[in-house]
Structure 1
Amino acid sequence: MPAFCRDCERVAEEMATVCAACGSARIISHPELFSLAIAHVDCDAFYASVEKRDRPELAERPVIVGGGRRGVVTAACYVARSFGVRSAMPMFKALRLCPEAVVIRPDMAKYAASGRMVRALIERLTPLVQPLSIDEAVLDLSGTEALHRAPPAVVLARLAREVERTVGVTVSIGLAPNRMLAKMAVERGKPRGFAVIGRGDAASVLAPMPVSALPGIGPKAAARLAARGFTTLGALAALSPAEALSRLGEDGPALAAMARGEDGRPVEPSRASKSVSAETTFDADLSALADLERALWPLAERLSVRLKAKALAAAGVTLKLKTASFQTRTRHARLPEPTQLAETLFSAARALLAREATGASFRLIGIGADPLADAAEADRGDLADPDAPKRRAVEQAIDRLRDRFGPGVIGKGRGLSIPPE
């Protein structure tokens, strides 16, 4: 069976559990190992890993990245996960499960900078890279073996080592014949994993999995399938197209095909993001306009960072507020021209906020870009706003300094008025 060592790249038709050349136990073997080319690369507990990289004394500690006690968990390291902490969990519940956890406020500028470094390393391998988030991408390495002088599996192992060496975080890799199977594979091996699902073993690997393992099948959809007698992928996979249509409706044949490991989606480098946003939940409800503005500014900076990382711009701004009674308000304004600038995003959202801050108490505030535009259209300036290119140049200079020396090296005066949380 084809195999190779992830650490020294020794390739063999048969390999023991330990590499004879370097002694590593990180051996990958699979009948289709050197014929598969679709990979899913996912950073392990990315935000928490970046924080541990910058604070080595936290290496063995449980770390949670997220808001205050009334916020939610943005990310949790694997030590914290062993206590049951999960992303999107309310912070009070996470701290009840893991009271000794170190809680760190999110630093999106730092994470975006690290994410760009990982992305740059991935994009050196193939032009067919489809980013899925700041720390995750799918890539097609078909036809690259001659270029890299190695099959995709070996090239991916090199990538993982290079990310660890230069960025200081770990990644997990899923290798398969299509995107869906690659995604399922990457989830099997975390952290620092490398898992393979081939064409020949897809049916046997998927059959015992719950239906919720399929992309897009959440708890409600899984409950509906269970009510019809389908709890595993094997049960779905056994349906013919006609049976699937009859028993599950229009989506039935596609679900049955996915349960068999079939996925015809190509890797699309130009896939457009549907939305970009940032929000925060307060430790205590806020009602005063000045307090809400102070909370809005760092969100505008975070949104600006995310837009730049995705090479996108905001053609409009959406303000989101959640009242103390959990009612959500959204307000929208179209911009004169697309922008990536935090100051412009903030000004537009602040005008919307001023009309809402009339005494009501709010527990959450958010800002989003809607609709999105290409970055090339952003902040070009016109007769009505001739200084836009100058503001863009200033912000780009700030971004370069932050990328090089860290997010706290420089900031605008507006940020100095924000009290520590």
Structure 2
Amino acid sequence: MPTLCRDCLRLSDHPAPRCPGCGGRRLLRHAEVATLSIAHIDCDAFFASVEKRDRPELRAKPLIVGGGTRGVVAACCYLARIQGVRSAMPMFKALSLCPDAVVVRPEMSKYAEAGHRIRAMMQELTPLVQPMSIDEAVVDLSGTATLHKAPPAAVLAGLALRVEREVGVTISVGLAPNRLLAKLAVERDKPRGFAVIGAAEAAGLLATEPVTVLPGVGPVLARRLAAQGFSTLGQLQRLSPREAAERFGEDGPTLAARARGEDSRPVDPRRDTKSISAETTFEHDIRDPAALEVPLWRMCEKLGRRLREKGFAAGGVVLKLKTADFALRTRHARLPGHTRLPDTLFAAARPLLAREADGTAFRLIGIGAQPLVDGAGADRGDLLDAEAPKRAARWQAIEALRARFGEAAVVKGRGR
């Protein structure tokens, strides 16, 4: 059976437990390992891994990236996961499960820099790289074997070694004939893993899995499926397209096909960014309208920066509030023009906040851009706002100073 050594990248049919070339034990054996070309690449506990890279004294300790007892876990290392900590878990619960954890505040610029370096390495291998998040992407290496003088599996194993060596974090790889199976494969072997699911074995491997293993099948859909007697993918696999449509509507045939491991989606580097937003959870609940405006302004600054970095502008804003009892409120307002200026975003969100700040205690506030529009024509000014270009120039100057001297170099009064 074809065998790939993940240490020296040698591909052979040698059946021994060690690589005949380097003596390594990290061998990947699979009938289709030399022919598959779609991969899902996921950085392992990314934020926590970057922090441990920069602070070696934390490597043997459970680490949580998050903020305050009122916040949530942004990421955690595998030592913390063993004790039950998970991303998006409230900090107070995470610390009760893992009281000896070291907690560090997120530093997004550092994670973005590492993520961009890894993505650039992927793009050196193929132009068909579809980012899924800052630390995750799908790649298509079809037709690259001649260019790289190696099959995709060996190229991906080499990428993993390079990321470890040059960036200082580890990645896991899922290799398969399509995006769905690649995603499922990468989840089977973490951290520092490399898993393969071939076309011939896909349906059999998935048959006994619960329906919730499919991306997109959340609690609501799982309950709907269970009510009709479907709890495993094998049960869905047996449905014909007609039966699936009769039971689950127009999405039924696709659901049954995915249960069999079928997926025709291409890897698309032009995948649209769906949303850009910024939010914060307070250390203590806030009721006062004026006090709520301070974090709202800070979030408008963050949103404006993120829009500029990604080349977008806002055609409208969405205000997000979460009450002390975790009830979510969202309010939307259209903008007269396209913008990424914090003061314009704040001016649109402030009346929305005023209508909601009626004495209710809030634990979280956020602001998002909706709809997202191309940033090329943003803040050019018109008869209704002739000063927009000047404000845009001032904001660019402020951002340049902050980039050079730190966030505290220039702080507006309403942000204090």
TM-score (structure 1 length as normaliser) = 0.88
Specify whether residues 395 and 40 from structure 1 end up closer, same or farther in structure 2 by C-alpha distance, changes over 3 A only. Answer: farther
The one-letter amino acid paired with 1:159 is: L
- Aligned twin of 1:212: 212
Cα contact 1:72–1:90 (8 A) shared by 2? yes
CA contact (8 A) 2:209 2:233 kept: yes
- Separation in 2, partners of 1:71, 1:246: 44
SS at structure 1 position matched to 2:250? coil
In the alignment, structure 1 segments of 5+ residues that lack a partner are 402-407
Q: Which moves more between the two structures, 66-75 or 39-48? A: 66-75
Other-structure match for 2:221: 221
- Kindly provide the amino acid, as one letter, of the partner of residue 411 in structure 2: R
Secondary structure, aligned partner of 2:187: helix
The answer to whether the Cα contact below 8 Å between 1:130 and 1:139 also exists between their aligned partners in 2 is yes
TM-score for both structures, normalised by structure 2: 0.89
Q: Deviations over 1:44-89 (max 9, x none)?
A: 1112222222222111211112232222222121111101111122
- Once the two structures are TM-superposed, the CA of residue 412 in structure 1 deviates from its matched residue by 4.2
| Letter aligned with residue 77 of structure 1 | C
- Measured in 2, the distance between the counterparts of 1:23 and 1:290 equals 66
Q: Does 1:387 align with 2:390?
A: yes
Structure 2 residue 415 is the aligned partner of structure 1 residue 413: no
Q: Classify 1:362/1:338 alpha carbon distance in 2 versus 1 (closer, same or farther; 3 Å).
A: same
Measured in 1, the distance between the counterparts of 2:305 and 2:169 equals: 20
Which digits, 9 at most, give the CA deviation of each residue in 1:328-368, with x for residues without a partner?
33333444544445565455545644565454432110111
The 3 A distance-change label for structure 1 pair 13 and 337 is farther
1:266-281 superposed matches below 5 A: 266-281=266-281
> Any stretches of 5+ residues in structure 2 without a counterpart?
none
Task: Tell me the residue number matched to 2:185.
Answer: 185
- In the alignment, is the contact (CA less than 8 A) between 1:68 and 1:91 conserved in 2? yes
- The one-letter amino acid of 1:137's match is A
Answer yes or no: is the 8 Å Cα contact 2:308–2:375 preserved in 1.
yes
Residue 387 of structure 1: SS of its match in structure 2? helix
Q: Which residue of 2 aligns with 1:405?
A: none
2:195 is aligned with what amino acid?
A
What RMSD, in angstroms, separates the aligned Cα atoms of the two structures?
2.7
Residue 163 of structure 1 aligns with which residue?
163
Structure 2 counterpart of 1:12: 12
Q: CA deviation at 1:19?
A: 2.1
Equivalent positions of 1:390-405 (< 5 A) are 390-391=393-394, 393-394=396-397, 397=400, 401=404
Structure 2 CA distance for aligned equivalents of residues 415 and 59 of structure 1: 39
Structure 2 counterpart SS, 1:89: coil
Amino acid at match of 2:36: L
Residue aligning to 1:46: 46
Closer, same or farther in 2 for the Cα pair 1:358/1:256, shift >3 Å? closer
Structure-1 separation of matches of 2:270 and 2:252: 29
Aligned residues: 413
Does the aligned pair in 1 maintain the 2:279–2:364 contact within 8 Å?
Answer: yes
Alpha-carbon distance change, 24 to 187 in structure 1, aligned in 2, over 3 angstroms: same
Q: How far off is 1:128 after superposition?
A: 1.5
CA deviations 1:228-250 (Å, max 9, x no partner) are 22221112112222333344443
C-alpha contact (below 8 Å) 1:341/1:395 kept by paired residues: no
Amino acid at match of 1:71: G
Verify the 8 A CA contact 1:80 1:98 in the aligned structure 2. yes
**Counterpart position of 1:34:** 34
Tell me whether 312-321 or 131-140 shows the greater mean CA deviation. Answer: 312-321
The 8 Å contact of residues 202 and 260 in structure 2, kept in 1 or not, is answered as yes
Query: 2: distance between equivalents of 1:416 and 1:81?
Result: 41
Letter in 2 for 1:385: A
Q: Which residue of 1 aligns with 2:109?
A: 109
| Contact 1:244 1:253 (8 Å CA) reproduced | yes
Give me the whole-angstrom Cα distance separating, in 2, the residues matched to 1:340 and 1:108.
20
Deviations 1:95-132 (A, max 9, x none): 11111112222222322222222222222222212111
- 1: CA distance, partners of 2:274 / 2:196: 30
1:132 is paired with a residue whose SS is strand
Greater CA drift, 391-400 or 152-161: 391-400
Q: Give the whole-Å Cα distance in 2 for the aligned partners of 1:205 and 1:225.
A: 20
Q: 1:130 — aligned with what?
A: 130
Q: Could you tell me how far apart the structure 2 residues matched to 1:144 and 1:123 are?
A: 12
1:11-410 to structure 2, matched below 5 A, reads: 11-304=11-304, 306-308=306-308, 310-335=310-335, 337-341=337-341, 345-346=345-346, 348-350=348-350, 352-353=352-353, 356-357=356-357, 359-379=359-379, 383-388=386-391, 390-391=393-394, 393-394=396-397, 397=400, 401=404, 409-410=406-407
Q: 1:367 to 1:41 in 2, by over 3 A?
A: same
The answer to whether the Cα contact below 8 Å between 2:341 and 2:392 also exists between their aligned partners in 1 is: no
Contact between 2:129 and 2:140, CA under 8 Å: does it hold in 1?
A: yes
**8 Å contact from structure 2 (residues 379, 388) kept in 1:** no
Q: Aligned partners of 1:116, 1:134: CA distance in 2, in Å?
A: 8
Q: Is the 8 A contact 1:67 1:280 kept in 2?
A: no
The Cα of 1:188 is off from its aligned counterpart by 0.7
Aligned-residue offset at 1:285: 0.8
8 Å Cα contact 2:401/2:409 also seen in 1:
no
Letter in 2 for 1:321: L
1:385, distance to aligned residue in structure 2 (A):
2.1
Over 3 Å counting, the alpha-carbon distance change for 1:166 and 1:4 in structure 2 is: same
Identity of aligned residues (%): 62
The alpha carbon displacement at 1:172 in A equals: 1.0
Cα 1:352–1:251 shift into 2, 3 Å: closer
Q: Distance in 2 between matches of 1:44 and 1:372?
A: 30
1:138 is aligned with what amino acid?
Answer: V
Shift of 1:393: 4.2
Q: Which one is further off, 168-177 or 221-230?
A: 221-230
Distance 1:124 1:175, change over 3 A: same
Q: Which moved more, 1:301-310 or 1:40-49?
A: 301-310
Distance 1:106 1:391, change over 3 A: same
